[in-house]
Structure 1
């Protein structure tokens, strides 16, 4: 593959990551499928797929920079301490299971077919959840209790299966638990910070022997493209959830998953 075609592929993957990271459609699943179709399936490519997620996470830091700075200035305040406790409790279940199952997940679950099946099942769950009657009892992130955060964290463990979607598992899980839609979405954004920094850092360490100047350049370009596209999606998504539900994303997951299965079956 020529250098120009390779750089185009990297830009495409960066856009896919940034656009899908915070939507309930699974960014990892889309990256696996897109990389397979583009022919970017090397071991270094798998490291790239994980690490460029940092671009999307930095976009969260930028979008919520005022709130993060306020939390840093008021680090001894009750609200900041409560948020830190909640994020820690929500982070730990996936972190522990991820460490225990890292090699198994990488070996057996990073394939387009398993991702397609997860997309379809997740789509059905989203449509079911949106049709299920429920009442929101938690309207602001400040109202989240440690027990609520732990429940969201347990939901997040489902996203260790590529194709499930970290955003989808945490947002839909929180909503079923009684968290208002926009609040669930914002908490999912903040929870992404420790989760994705830890996942990317661990993957870099585990795969450090694969790093070279070519892969470092790929990651740098993918990071920038992911950051820009994710920043746009965050702003659009927060406006969207104020007026709409996630049912269209459920149908998208089902249709896309069936399409992938059809392509591989043929």
Structure 2
């Protein structure tokens, strides 16, 4: 594999790591950068290129585990977080949150792969998701009732999980949909973001495994270092972006990200028109 191809993997890892936790759609950004510039499908093949975009998200997910390891261990009772209430946030909340997207993801995976991995569909997701985020900021409670993960009920976790299904459409954004849904359901922005990151771990691990199995025959030994470079790049840049985003979301909320999404969509529309 030539160095230019490995450089492309690093670029996609950078895009993934820096956008995974912001409500702007990491998958959408990777599709835009790849389709308009990098063209990895030319040497990976269509199925393998889509699989790569999903698998390198595991690098970002590993960064979540690295940063939030105490909370992760507490989910299975291996760590006691100081100040946790009796109804503490646990693995049951995560399961309730991931079931809807897991079910719909399995049912519609083929359709998503075949019809939704394109710039036009990403533009639609960017715009609709942006308006959903603006609605959340405008109509969410001014004084959120839920300000920590340990105050989330199983019912709230399931409702956020149902809203998360919107992110199956590339460009809508998993964090955008779940943070917006959480805010509308009474969570503050920081708590909604924390829940989003934790739910992403099993969801992306499952999605990556399923995609790898489906397209295994299209992945050959020559692709190995491409995947490794993309994975490591996503991990490193996600570490940089996680803490920055968690501080930022509490201050600026969702609307600035929504404006960016709309502007990006308009730029893409102009580019496609000419």
Under a length normalisation based on structure 1, what TM-score does the superposition of the two structures give? 0.94
Structure 2 unmatched runs, 5+:
none
What CA distance in whole angstroms lies between the structure 1 residues aligned with 2:149 and 2:262?
Answer: 31
Report the alpha carbon displacement of residue 253 of structure 1 after superposing the two structures with TM.
0.3
Cα contact 1:74–1:80 (8 A) shared by 2: no
- 1:68 aligned onto 2:72: yes
CA RMSD, Structure 1 to Structure 2 (Å): 1.9
- Residue 251 of structure 2 is matched in structure 1 by 243
Q: Secondary structure at the match of 1:28?
A: helix
CA distance in 2, matches of 1:133, 1:46: 35
Please tell me whether residue 21 in structure 1 is matched to residue 20 in structure 2. Answer: yes
Identify unmatched segments of 5+ residues in structure 1: none
Q: Which of 211, 223, 236 is residue 203 of structure 1 equivalent to?
A: 211
After TM superposition, the structure 1 stretch with the greater mean CA deviation from structure 2, 184-193 or 71-80, is 71-80
1:84 maps to 91
Q: Is the Cα–Cα contact under 8 Å of residues 48 and 215 in structure 1 kept in the other structure? A: no
SS of equivalent residue, structure 1 residue 23 = coil
Q: Is the 8 A contact 1:32 1:110 kept in 2?
A: yes
The aligned counterpart of 1:117 is 124
Deviation at 1:35, TM superposition (A): 0.8
Instruction: Tell whether 2:105 aligns with 1:94.
Output: no
Kept after mapping to 1: 8 A contact 2:140/2:185: no
Report the alpha carbon displacement of residue 51 of structure 1 after superposing the two structures with TM: 0.3
| 1:129-173 C-alpha deviation (Å, 9 max, x unpaired) | 212252411111111111000011001100000110001010110
TM-score (norm 2): 0.91
Query: Once the 2 structures are TM-superposed, how far is the Cα of residue 6 of structure 1 from its aligned partner?
Result: 1.5
How many residues are paired up?
A: 265
Aligned ranges 1:128-167 → 2 under 5 Å: 128-132=135-139, 134=141, 135-167=143-175
Q: CA 1:252–1:69 in 2, change beyond 3 Å: closer, same or farther? A: same
Name the structure 2 match of 1:217.
225
Question: Taking structure 1 as reference, are residues 210 and 257 closer, same or farther at Cα in structure 2, changes over 3 Å only?
Answer: same
Contact 1:118 1:162 in 2 (8 A): yes
The CA deviation string for residues 94-141 of structure 1, in whole angstroms up to 9 with x for no partner, is 010111101111111110011011101211221232122524111111
Q: Which residue of 1 aligns with 2:39?
A: 39
Question: Is this contact kept in 2: 1:75–1:81, CA < 8 A?
Answer: no
Output the CA distance in 1 between the equivalents of 2:86 and 2:74. Answer: 11
**Cα deviation, residue 231, structure 1:** 0.8
Describe the SS at the equivalent of 2:90. helix
